[in-house]
Every structure is written in C-alpha cells, then in structure tokens.
Amino acid sequence: MKRYIEGYMKLIRGGFFKESYKFLAVTILVLIAFALKIGADVEVIIFTFLGMGIFLDLDERKYSLATALPMKIKTRIKMLYINTYVICFLGSLSAQLAYLIRGELRPISTMVIVWMLSVIGCNLYYLIFASNEFKEDPQEQIAVMIAYTLILTMAGMILLIIHFAIKGSIISYLIEHSSILFQIMSIGVLVFLTGVMTAISYKSVVKKAYTGIDTSY
C-alpha cells in the first residue's frame, strides 16, 4: 500500500493527474451550487462523467512519459483506478459538504453509496474505451461515445424528474426507509461489487492496452 501511495503522490507532483483534478474542481463548483436540487442519484451520473477526465490522464503521450518513470506498466494502470477511487471520493465528499453548508445533515451511507456507484460507472467507461497503448482517443470513437453520452444524459434526466416528483432521490428515499442493519449490509454488498467491477475492468484494460506486450516492466 505504501508503494502505491508513494507512486500516486509522485504522479501528482509530475502533473499526470492534472485533467482529473481540473474536472473535479468544475464538478465541485457545480455541486456547491446545485447539490440539494439534483439529489444523490444524479450525483452518480455526474461522477460517472468524471471518468472521462480521469481517463485523459492516461492518454498515449502521458502513458509514454509515465512509463519512463521507475514504475511497472501494470502499476501505472493501477494508478488510474486508485485515482478513480480518490477523485470519486472527493466528489461525493464535496456533495456531502454542500449539504452541510446549506444546513442539512445527509447520512454518511448516502455518500458511500454515491462513491461506490460512481467508481463502478467510471470503471465501465475504462472498460469500454481502453485501446492499445491508449492510442485511440475515446472522443474519436464517435458512435460509441455518442451512445454512451446519450445513455448517461437520459438516465440523468429521468433521475432528475424522479427527484422532483418524489421530492428526493431514490438513494436517499431507500436509506430513510431502511434500518441501519440493512444499510450496512447493502453497503457491504456494494463495496464487494465495486471491487469485482474494478478487477474486471482492470484486467480488460491491461489486455486491451498491452496485447502482445510484456507487462512485467
């Protein structure tokens, strides 16, 4: 774990996560202004879009620079996933603070659920758009990108309509009407599913990005 933390900090200092934090900064500003109006469900959609910014930090150019560091190739890809957990956590935490600033205390379980669902969404994005040595820009995969963006946008709109209709998000409603034990069990299952999705996504990205290449270096 210490090795990954040191590697993560090294990449931050080297500017390899600049796009991630740029997207996060814009997201936080949006959440401060609108978090209470959009609800937890839409937050998940917004944080899933963050995956696009996080993925930009591992394009072909940055891949070449990063792998020139004393770091194994697979370790560099793992940093993509570590960064996803960090960025999505900071995003969900900022939404939590936005509620607190407005004088509302939102359950921590809501923040954790939003965090885990966002990580799953981002991991799905990487699985879909990874390419050999990250040479293919996701934005150039026009048909798939349009379909992906439309699905997320439509899902966000539907969830926003539901939020206004029931005066709250589905996630918040379920938490408010469930016991602490059920919430803990649900979060446990979600954490497990997030870990499984991360493993599947990681293996797929490694296979797509480095097919025919020795990944031990």
pLDDT of residue 62: 63
Q: Which tokens belong to 130?
A: 């990874």
pLDDT band with cut points at 50, 70 and 90 for residue 135: confident
pLDDT of residue 3: 78
* Between 113 and 215, the higher pLDDT residue: 113
Using an 8 Å Cβ cutoff, are 76 and 5 in contact? no
What distance in Å separates the CA atoms of residue 198 and residue 106, rounded to the nearest whole number?
27
Residue 66 pLDDT > 70 = no
Residue 4 pLDDT > 70 = yes
pLDDT of residue 34: 82
pLDDT of residue 48: 93
Residue 213 pLDDT > 50 = no
What distance in Å separates the CA atoms of residue 77 and residue 63, rounded to the nearest whole number?
9
pLDDT band with cut points at 50, 70 and 90 for residue 90: very high
Q: CA neighbours within 13 Å on the CB side: how many for 83? A: 31
What distance in Å separates the CA atoms of residue 34 and residue 24, rounded to the nearest whole number?
15
pLDDT of residue 139: 72
What distance in Å separates the CA atoms of residue 81 and residue 75, rounded to the nearest whole number?
10
* Between 130 and 122, the higher pLDDT residue: 122
* Between 40 and 168, the higher pLDDT residue: 40
To the nearest whole number, what is the mean pLDDT of the chain?
A: 85
For the chain, what's the residue count? 217
